[in-house]
Chain A
Amino acid sequence: MSNKKTINVALIGNPNTGKTSLFNELTGLNQKVGNYPGVTVDKKEGQSKLQSNLKAIITDLPGTYSINPTSLDETIVLKTLLNSKSEKTPDVIVVVADVENLKRNLLLFSQIKDLEIPTILAINMADQMKRKGITIDLKLLKNELNNEVVLLSVRKDPEIGIQEVKKAIVKTYNSAKAFPLCNVNNRIDPAYFDRLKEINPKYSIYELWLMITQNSFPDKISEDEKKALLNFKNDSKNLKKYQHKETIYRYQKINEILKKTYLADRSKATDLRAKLDKVFTHKIFGYILFFTLLLLIFQSIFDWASLPMDLIDTVFANLSSYVNKTMPTGVLNNLISEGIIPGVGGIIIFIPQIAILFLFVSLLEETGYMSRVVFLMDKIMRRFGMSGKSVIPLISGTACAIPAVMATRNISGWKERLITILVTPFTTCSARLPVYAIIIALIIPDKKIFGILNLQGLTLLSLYILGFTTAIMAAVILHKTLKVKNTSFFVVEMPDYKLPSLKNVFFDVIEKTKAFIFGAGKIILSISIVLWFLASNGPQAYTDVEKHIKEKTVSQEISEVKFNQMVASAKLENSYIGIMGKSIEPLIKPLGYDWKIGIALISSFAAREVFVGTLATIYSVGSDDDDITTIKQRMALEINPETNTRRFNFPVGMSLLVFYAFAMQCMATLAIVKRETKSWKWPLIQFVGMGILAYVCSFVVFQILS
């Protein structure tokens, strides 16, 4: 009688761990492919000689990340494991893991260990360890896991690894001992699991737990036993909560073990990824590369966005003019052509900038470069109470604060994200440029210093530096004063470099653009309508404007255009918004402003660039770009009747520049801050805080200079 014995061995592992390569090496040509009963999933089996008197039927089970199945393939794994009391089920399980992703692979291993089936951990791709800077204390790992652990390189050096695996299978089979790794029941709710065990003592606690959570039962279980378990499940309120706790605890345990036994030191790695990392995170070259890339990105944003933005502007201007001409005159015409269409246009016009910025951000994230930037910048930004991830919003704020505030979404720490949201509007956005341009042209002489540096250009650069410095200083103050719970730790996983998935990039850009249109857009449109109403309506004096101007100009010969400009200017003065401008005059007088600038300040709350257009209307000139010289000349000629000097002199101009540098004059940004923080509290704090700072600084500047 032959004393040869055959045992069942199953190979289990995450996808792409080299499980099938190991199966091929173990079985050679002794393979057959069948089907699992009732399903079309391939069942691969083969024979392997372990010792002269011991053979193994090796089964290659489908790849799975855990035994909580999400697909048919993964269900097969769970079924096989739950049928462990039957004759055909594995005597030994070989869990194949990938050395680079050991943490993720150990989740599956820990679940199988808890089923108390004799198990081996085969860590594959060990030949990559040196290149990737990985070291493993194998002896300690075996002790910590209380399990056989084998290092192998199936592709590189199969002979050595395969013999080790065979020896480990025999050793594990002979010892026939299996110990759970996590004992999650003791950590979650021991009383609950004791009650579960009482329902069916034939099975282990973890088997019963899997049955009720995964709704999967062994073939041999009776209907009554199944019913009892289902009743227990239906009475359980905390099933989901306990499942979450189980995963958390498993990862805690895995982290604890790997902390002692596994070290991945990327600085010692020698693969392509490591070489790229060394350049991208280099103390000098890393920053040079990053800022060059940013320069290219922002150049592209301005270049690419300007054409569609001009197009949108033209389309809405034409639409507004078309509606104005074709609809019967009246308030409805005015509402649509001067309120709603410009309001909708004011939302749509931001789309090119938002979409292009997010296209770049998404591409940088997809390729894996963003994680390197975050790592690079984190040390610096953390000193100011922000995160490495705050760099992108702060720099993209120079284009527009709206996409910048939205770009804070990938900052995981709430406090760091909030600080970044609150300080980003200090960076000089493109909407400030028309305001800066006209005031600088008015108060700074067009001279060159040292023969090369333009004084006006230097002033503009100083305003950019002022904005960025204020953002950093505000961040430091907020970091020290904000009492917000913060749970952020610098944990950044460095993913492999890869070609971006265009599908992911496309959906990311669409999702973020949609969030802006439907989130902030509604608020911007509503405020536009209210502002239109305030600027187009007024008390009796407003309605009598045309009659008064006719009476005043009856003896003069003026063109129709000039007459209309005078009416528009007088109407604005007598409108509700004009009255508001006059009523805030005492408040803004210490800053050097009159009621006309007051109107421009109020109306530019809709958007900063409206400041120039409003002043153009007040000074009765057109607001087209071609007429900017005219606006400048009119502003330059405006006299302060009290002092009989120029209204826009150096102190007033500087005071205005400082005011616009600090004030939160952008309802669209406030709307997006509200949307991102899910509260009006933060945009209001931002509005008031930045307003007070702007007021105080403008006051100081004006008083000192005058």
Chain B
Amino acid sequence: MQEIIVYSSVGVAVFFLVKKFFFKKPKSKCNKDCDC
């Protein structure tokens, strides 16, 4: 049971990082360039 929780936590952390690294959300450029 402990292993399941631990490996799930590591899995969630890896998934979160992969999602952050490789899957971009559509974003507005409004806060980057006042001329947008």
Interface mask (A328-345 → B, CB under 8 Å = 1, otherwise 0) = 001110110000100000
On chain A, the residues within 8 Å of B6 by CB distance are 331-332, 334-335
Q: Report A-chain residues with C-beta under 8 Å of the C-beta of B10.
A: 335, 529-530, 533
| Contact among A334, A526, A674 for B16, CB-based, below 8 A | A526
Are the CB atoms of B32 and A522 closer together than 8 Å? no
- Indicate the member of B14, B21, B24, B32 with the most A CB atoms within 10 Å: B32
**Contacting pair B2 A525 (CB below 8 A):** no
Question: A335-B6, A527-B17, A530-B13 are contacts. A487–B34 as well, Cβ < 8 Å?
Answer: yes
Chain B positions within 8 Å of A340 at CB level: 9
Which A residues have a C-beta under 8 Å from some C-beta of B? 330-332, 334-335, 340, 412, 414, 485, 487, 522-523, 525-527, 529-530, 533, 674, 678-680
Q: Which of B1-36 contact A (CB under 8 A)?
A: 2-3, 5-6, 9-10, 12-14, 16-17, 20-21, 24, 27, 31-35
Flag if A674 contacts B20 (CB, 8 Å).
yes
The interface residues of chain A lying within 8 Å CB-to-CB of B27 are 678-679
Residues of B near any A CB (own CB < 8 A) = 2-3, 5-6, 9-10, 12-14, 16-17, 20-21, 24, 27, 31-35
B33 touches A529 (CB 8 A): no
Interfacial chain A residues near B31, Cβ < 8 Å: 678
The CA-CA distance from A550 to B32 in the complex, in Å, is: 60
Contact status A680-B21, CB under 8 Å: yes
Q: CB-CB < 8 A to A525: which residues of B?
A: 13
Q: Which residues of B contact A485 (CB under 8 A)?
A: 33, 35
Q: How far is the CB of A337 from chain B (nearest CB, A)?
A: 12
Given A412-B34, A529-B9, are A332 and B17 neighbors across the interface (CB < 8 Å)? no
A331-B3, A332-B2, A680-B21 known; A414 vs B33 contact (CB < 8 Å): yes
B16: nearest chain-A partner, CB-CB:
A526
Check A335 against B13 for contact (C-beta < 8 Å). no
Dominant secondary structure of chain B at its interface with chain A: helix
Q: Is the CB of A530 within 8 A of B35?
A: no
- Taking the closest CB of chain A, its distance from the CB of B27, in whole angstroms, is 5
A553 to chain B, nearest CB (A): 30
Could you tell me the distance between the alpha carbons of A340 and B12 in the complex, rounded to whole angstroms? 13
Q: What residues of chain A lie closer than 8 Å to B2, measured between beta carbons? A: 330-332
Pairs of residues from A and B, 4 with the lowest C-beta to C-beta distance, nearest first: A526-B13, A332-B2, A529-B13, A487-B35
A residues less than 8 Å from B21 (CB atoms): 680
Chain B, Cβ-Cβ closest to A523: B20
Min C-beta distance of B26 to chain A, whole Å: 11
> Are A530 and B34 in contact (CB-based, < 8 A)?
no
What are 8 pairs between A and B in contact, CB < 8 Å? A331-B6, A332-B6, A414-B33, A525-B13, A526-B14, A527-B13, A529-B10, A530-B10
Query: Could you tell me the distance between the alpha carbons of A527 and B14 in the complex, rounded to whole angstroms?
Result: 8
Q: Is the CB of B9 within 8 A of A335?
A: yes
Closest chain B CB from A534 CB (angstroms): 10
| Residue pair A680, B20 in contact (C-beta under 8 Å) | yes
> In the complex, what's the smallest C-beta–C-beta distance from B3 to chain A, in angstroms?
6
With both beta carbons as reference points, the residue of chain A lying nearest to B24 in the complex is identified as A679
Closest to A684 in B: B21
> For A526, what are the chain B residues with a Cβ–Cβ distance below 8 Å?
12-14, 16-17
A689 to chain B, nearest CB (A): 18
How far is it, in angstroms, between the C-alpha of A522 and the C-alpha of B17 when the chains are bound?
9
Q: Which residue of A lies closest to B18 (CB)?
A: A526
Instruction: Give the CA-CA distance A522 to B32 in the complex, in Å.
Output: 23
Closest to A330 in B: B2
> Given A487-B33, A526-B12, 8 other A-B contacts at CB below 8 A?
A330-B2, A331-B2, A332-B5, A414-B32, A414-B33, A530-B14, A533-B10, A674-B20
